[in-house]
Amino acid sequence: MIRNKIGTRVLLLAVFLAAVALVPAVNAQNENDYSVTEEVAFEHANAQIIDFIANDAEFEEWKGAAIDPKPLELYDPNGQKLYHQFSVYKNNSLIGRVDVGANKTLGQSIQVIEQTPVLYNITEAVNKSIETARNEYPDGEIKSTEVVVYCYPSIGAMTVIKDKASGDEHRIFVDAYTLEVIPDRHATETEPGIWSIFDRRLQNGVEENLKSWQASDQLTKSIEQEAASKGICISVPVTLNDYLNSEATNVNYEYYNYFFGLYSLGNTVISRYGKLPVLENEEQKENWNSTLEELSNRIEDPVASKYMYPHGEVMSCGINDRGYFVILFKYGNVDEPLMNEMYTLIDDSAKEMGIQDVPVEFGYGTYWEEIYLEGINGWYWFGKSTENLSKSDINTLEEVMEHKPTMPLNKTIAAYGIIPLLKDPNEINLWQEKLYTITCQIQKKMTPYMEKGQIITYGARIRLEIEINENLSSEEQNTVVKEVYQIIDEEARKQNITDVPVVFITPEEESMTEPDNSSNNSDSESDVGGKQSKNNSTPGFGLLASLTCLYGGWKLKRK
> DSSP letter string over 237-255?
---HHHHHH--S-TT-GGG
Nearest Cα residue to 114 out of 85, 90, 93: 85
Report the distance separating Cα 316 and Cα 543, nearest Å: 25
Tell me the HSE value of 186 on the side-chain side, using a 13 A CA sphere: 3
DSSP lists the bridge partners of residue 173 as 158, 182
d(CA 540, CA 346): 31
To the nearest 10°, the Cα dihedral for 232, 74, 38, 233? 0
Nearest to 341 by CA among 291, 289, 302, 284: 302
pLDDT at 202: 54
Across the strands, what pairs with 148?
75, 156
Residues of the chain short of pLDDT 70, as ranges, are 1-32, 201-204, 240-246, 508-559
pLDDT value of residue 23: 33
* HSE toward the beta carbon, residue 382, CA cutoff 13 A: 33
The phi, psi pair for 95, rounded to 5°, reads -120, -5
Domain boundaries, the chain: 2-116+204-239, 122-182, 244-401, 409-550
